[in-house]
Chains A and B, each alone.
Chain A
Amino acid sequence: MVSPHTLRTTGAIRRTRVALALGATLALAAGLTACAPEPTDPAANISASTDTVTITDNHGEIAVPVNPQRVVALDNTAFDTLAAWDVDLVAAPKGVMGSAWPGYTDDDAVLDIGTHREPNLEMIVAAEPDLIIGGYRFSDQYAEIKKQNPDATVIEIAPRDGEDQFAELKRQTEILGQIFDHEDEAAALNTQLDDAIADAKSNYPTGETVMAVNTSAGQIGYIAPGIGRSLGSIFGALDLTPALEVKNASNDHQGDDISVEAIADSNPDWIFALDRDASFAPAEREAGSAPANELIRDAEALAQVPAVTKQQIVILDPNFYLTEGIQAYTALFTNISEAFAAA
């Protein structure tokens, strides 16, 4: 059980104060340098703690080992944080990680669990984990994973449905901070999110209407304000005025089939677009598909819409669909805030 991971984690603890001072910059830099092999010093293993911390995950209270040695993470929303804190993983669902975390996906030592649609759960068992951060796309497999890994602690801390998305993200970060002994950094991340939301809120030209869409396969789908994950939740957080509000809109994140006519008719001042295809295969677009910005900007039918004439279109980060963690939302709110400020 004694391994080089310990050294790195203790190192990370020592860095805590600095990291706090430098804020997200260092966190990002650490994320980039994650997984670089470091020399092993067996003496450092003394600090390998057998402590546990009691947290409340989506299923109730559970005791989790502090600084667990062998971690399996299945929850995309946690990867940014884990990478920033140099947490090594022994297995991960590389199939749904795209190119967002090369530190994990390019490392052959990290076993590949595949995708949530065809998960290779045996890989989790083979990785002999101490801690499994499950949930999100893998929430259906929770019981199975628990059964197959009796020696591991299985937790789910992804944002719960029906709860405030951003409070949930902060809760998740806080729990991760407790487990990996990075509570200060966790607090910093939460503050950054709050600040970004407050900024965007104050820069929002009140009353201007916003429409959230997603684009896939050359189609523009409508994302209902307030419902579901991804863009729906930002309406409530920023108090935005929706350009189109319809009862019985579907509550999933894939958007409803909507004609460009309907978008033109709702005449939005702002369009926020999630490019669904960009995350998986940037170069491999399907028939008739165009990147979201072209699709919207070049649509003849939308030529009269203020969002297009004033170029008030915010396209999400291509990896947003995969990341969706606290960092992704902080970045999104910062982008929105800047766009609002520039208008």
Chain B
Amino acid sequence: MIENTGLSKTGRNSGAATETGDRPAVRPRTVWALAAAIIVVAGLIAASLAVGVYDISGQAFGSEMFWITRVPRTIALVLAGAAMAVSGLVMQMLTQNRFVDATTSGTTEWAALGLLLTVLVVPEANMVTRMVVSSVAAFIGAMLFMLILQRIVIRSTLIVPLVGIMLGAVVSALTTFLAAQFNLLQMLSTWFMGSFTQIVRGRYEVLWIVGIVTVLVFVFADRITVAGLGKDVATNVGLNYERVLFLGTGLVAIASGVTTVVVGFLPFLGLVVPNIVSMMRGDNVRSNLPWVCLGGIGLVIACDLIGRLIIMPFEVPVSMVLGLVGAVVFISLLLRRTA
């Protein structure tokens, strides 16, 4: 959270340097808007820390409990939210399509397949092995998606996510089939149900990896942006297009692989946030990054809070709330496009 804010300044400055002529008048307002957004997200984080079944301040074990469950859960939300939203932005740049993210490109489904395969083939594998295999599977899936995209002729806006969704459906059918064969179906649903319920101290730490991914996206943002202009343009300005494509896809794969293993599916997050940000701010990708980060964190925390509050003391998994919100936004985006 803090490092994101710090980086966002760098991001904005370098972005502004290349676009001095664009909209210099907007800058002071942007600073205020960003500051306001940070305050809102900070408020959500505070709410996330405050909301829970256990009485943190009243009970003797309260402060212990705060560090055991609340803080890890909130950190996990921040890391996963930022990483998935930023991954969505990277995917959208690399595919030059607004409707692509880890969900609509089949990447998470591949990660799930990788996870299931590890369980079946190497049952005793630890968390790290699982995440590596998951990420590798997610990478293969994302690369396959890119390859197919380069081969199809009609690349209209809607064909691209459709290809991804179909690819994801095929892969998840295979995953389901395998799970059914080995009687893991019921577990599969618990497992991929994106939920932060069981995130406690000792169970979230690996998510710092996706934090690193987020930082790397900031570092490589310019290159990814140029790659987003298309292979010809990128090559013309001296960028090694393939390498950036590889790097970007790799980052997305790691983010979705790790998140899938630790939390489960977070549907539409990477789709909704970057789109809303660019609707409000235009397509200046570089300076949009901190906004996407904040948006991802804000949305996932808000959805988790809703899930925690509506049937207290039980919880609705965050993926369910996200799916609902995401589907509504996705459809309205489609309608806006076609209208």
Contacts and interface: CB of A to CB of B under 8 A. Distances in A.
Contact of B187 (A95, A216, A246, A304): A216
A84 interface: no
Interface stretch (A36-44, A53-61, A261-269, A328-336): A261-269
Interface in B64-99: 64-65, 68-69
A218 interface: yes
A8 to B, nearest CB: 31
B52 A219 contact: no
B197 interface: yes
Given A246-B314, A262-B53, A265-B55, A304 B61 contact: yes
A180 to B, nearest CB: 29
B271 interface: no
B315 A257 contact: yes
Chain B contact residues, majority secondary structure: loop
Contacts of B120: 284
B316 A257 contact: yes
B73 to A, nearest CB: 8
A238 B253 CA distance: 51
Given A217-B191, A258-B314, A264 B186 contact: no
Contacts of B183: 95-96, 115, 280-281
Interface stretch (B122-130, B293-301, B331-339): B122-130
B313 interface: yes
A281 B200 CA distance: 25
Contacts of A50: none
Interface stretch (A125-133, A161-169, A285-293): A285-293
A167 B315 CA distance: 34
B53 A259 contact: yes
Contact of A287 (B54, B130, B185): B130
**Range, interface on chain A:** 35 or more
Contacts of B180: 115, 117-118
Contacts of B127: 287-288
Contacts, number: 120
Contact of B197 (A248, A259, A304): A259
Contacts of B55: 265
B119 to A, nearest CB: 5
B313 A301 contact: no
**Range, interface on chain B:** 35 or more
A301 B123 contact: no
A281 B197 contact: no
B202 interface: yes
Contact of B315 (A248, A259, A277): A259
A219 B185 CA distance: 15
Given A218-B198, A261-B52, A300-B201, A281 B313 contact: no
Contacts of A254: 186, 190
B249 interface: no
A202 B75 CA distance: 48
Contact of B184 (A244, A266, A286): A286
A264 B65 CA distance: 9
A283 interface: yes
A232 to B, nearest CB: 15
Contacts of B201: 300
Contact of B65 (A96, A218, A284, A301): A301
B314 A287 contact: no
A256 interface: yes
Contacts of A266: 313
Contact of A281 (B53, B59, B184, B314): B184
B207 interface: no
B200 A301 contact: yes
A260 B190 contact: no
Contacts of A244: 313
Contacts of B186: 216, 254, 276
Contact of A222 (B123, B200, B261, B314): B314
A249 B313 CA distance: 10
Nearest first, the 5 closest Cβ-Cβ pairs linking A and B are A284-B123, A217-B190, A262-B53, A262-B313, A261-B54
Given A265-B55, A300-B201, 7 more contacts: A217-B190, A281-B182, A286-B184, A287-B115, A300-B64, A300-B200, A304-B64
Interface of B: 52-55, 59-61, 64-65, 68-69, 115, 119-120, 123-124, 127, 130, 180, 182-187, 190-191, 193, 195, 197-198, 200-203, 261-262, 308, 311, 313-317
